[in-house]
Structure 1
Amino acid sequence: MANLRKVFEDTDIIKENGYGVADEKGRKASLLLWNQPGHDVSGMMSRCEKVVNTCEDLLDKGEIYHYHSKLLYKQPKNGGSIIWHQDYGYWYDNTCLFPDMMTVFVAIDRCHKGNGCLQLLPGSNKCGRIDHGRVEGQTRADLDRVNAIEKVCPKVYAEIDPGDAIFFHCNVLHRSSANTSTDRRWAFLMTYNTKDNNPTTIHHHASYTPLHKVPNNAVRECTNYSDFSGKDFFDPTEDSPKVAIIKTQLTCER
């Protein structure tokens, strides 16, 4: 975590590439998003065997690739909420035909109820993909269905410490509240797709690119904190076909 923090805290990566998206109350949730792992510490983490092999074992669909990663950062007494959704609620619209996808959520800071920790409905992935609609800058799951599912898949608050990780399927319903505390809440999220589930059209996230695994000690031993070449950061102001898609169906997940 000390190495990972240097990437985000000791460089201008957030200043140069971060952006905000509005929640239902108009507050901004802040994120930094990129499509390719790169060779800095964050790239080593998203390529390390502990992460990649675990995802391949859980999905049990063969080879996976890096779909995108992001830093989701909520500053003290600041930062909007992320509303109820499934990641596949909009990855489906990205023309990924099957829900053979998942997310790894890594706490950079301690995550607790006060600073907007992740909330999940364990087992909700078994309900399949449910309808989603646009709310401000985000994509929200149908709340009547969410409320019904919560009765049989009770909500849990993922209160976790720095370095803890949560691996969850793309159909698990989840959200997070605004940060109303004096504690910062930063989290690093890595998402993966299976090779055979390559999207059928080009869009704002990565198509299949071979993922070159690295040993777990590469995260600890990496001293590249500032060379971000090749990461393909998302720019919401860029005028391109990829951004035209994201302007109508935002990629904000947590």
Structure 2
Amino acid sequence: MEPVRVVTLWLAVDESDPGNGCLRVVPGSHRLGLEEMRESIATPNVLGMEIAREVTGPEAVDIILGPGDVEVHHPNIIHGSTANTSSRRRCGLTIRYIPTSTRITDPEQPYPSAFLLRGEPGANRYQEWPALRAGEHFPYRGA
């Protein structure tokens, strides 16, 4: 995204704690600017990339969440998680809010999960709102 004007929310579906690899952040690190990224080949992960700095040590803080809790962070904060080696699932939903002046640089446009919530489209093409199916969906404004 350019410029990187983003707020990320992570909605916990399950418990998220150190035992199942909860999010860890380095408080105040968002003031340092973007950290270098590297390909993640040592440990399998869903992103394929990782921050080139370890999110361990005494400066890192565990973000412990219960189902329905939401964590909000700046994209520049150093963050990550350890592997979930427990028998419990750790599931959540990531939601990113951007102003319409921030351009999604992914070549796939409209980006599959980008929806215009309000205002004019600006720098991006967005997905169409789904059609209301009476009796199946909750009504929404403009349906």
Q: TM-score, normalised by structure 1?
A: 0.40
Q: Which amino acid aligns with 1:155?
A: A
Q: Which structure: greater helix fraction? A: 1
The question of whether the paired residues in 2 share the 8 Å contact of 1:112 and 1:160 is answered with yes
For residues 51-200 of structure 1, the aligned pairs below 5 Å read 96-136=1-41, 138-143=48-53, 146=54, 154-199=59-104
* Cα shift at 1:157: 0.5
1:128-168 alpha-carbon deviations (Å, 9 max, x no partner): 0121121236212223xx57x977xx211011111110110
Measured at CA, do residues 101 and 112 of structure 1 come closer, stay the same or move farther in structure 2, by a change above 3 Å? Answer: same
Unaligned 5+ residue runs, structure 1?
Answer: 1-95, 213-222, 226-254
Match of 2:117 in 1: 211
1:205 Cα deviation after fit? 6.9
Distance in 2 (alpha carbons) for counterparts of 1:114 and 1:128: 30
Q: Quick check: 2:35–2:78 contact (8 Å CA) kept in 1?
A: no
Tell me the CA shift for residue 204 of structure 1.
6.5
Amino acid at match of 2:10: F
1:201 positional shift: 6.6
Aligned-residue CA RMSD (Å): 3.1
Aligned-pair distance for 1:200? Answer: 5.7
Residue type matched to 1:211 in 2? Answer: L
After TM superposition, the structure 1 = structure 2 runs for residues 225-236 of structure 1, keeping only pairs within 5 Å, are none
Structure possessing the higher radius of gyration over alpha carbons? 2
Structure 2: runs of 5 or more not aligned: 42-46, 119-135, 139-143
Would the alpha carbon gap of residues 157 and 203 (structure 1) be closer, same or farther in structure 2, given more than 3 Å must change? Answer: same
**SS of equivalent residue, structure 1 residue 197:** coil
Q: Secondary structure at the match of 1:194?
A: coil
Q: How many corresponding residue pairs?
A: 116
Partners of 2:30 and 2:78 within 8 A in 1:
yes
How far apart, CA to CA, are the structure 2 residues paired with 1:128 and 1:150?
20
Distance 2:89 2:95 in 1: 20
The 1:195–1:161 alpha-carbon spacing in structure 2 relative to 1, beyond 3 Å, is: same
> What residue is the counterpart of 1:40 in the other structure?
none
> Are residues 210 and 100 of structure 1, via their aligned partners in 2, closer, same or farther at CA, if it must alter by over 3 Å?
same
What is the TM-score when the length of structure 2 is the normalising length? 0.67
The sequence identity of aligned pairs, in percent, is 25
AA in 1 matched with 2:97:
Y
Which of structure 1's runs of 4+ aligned residues deviate more than 4 A?
A: none
Q: Secondary structure at the match of 1:99?
A: coil
Distance (Å, rounded) in 1 between the aligned partners of 2:57 and 2:18: 18
**How far 1:210 moved relative to its partner?**
2.4
Higher strand share: 1
Cα separation, 2, equivalents of 1:205 and 1:119? 32
Confirm or deny: 8 A CA contact 2:15 2:90 kept in the other structure.
Answer: yes
CA 1:205–1:107 in structure 2 vs 1: closer, same or farther (change >3 Å)? Answer: farther
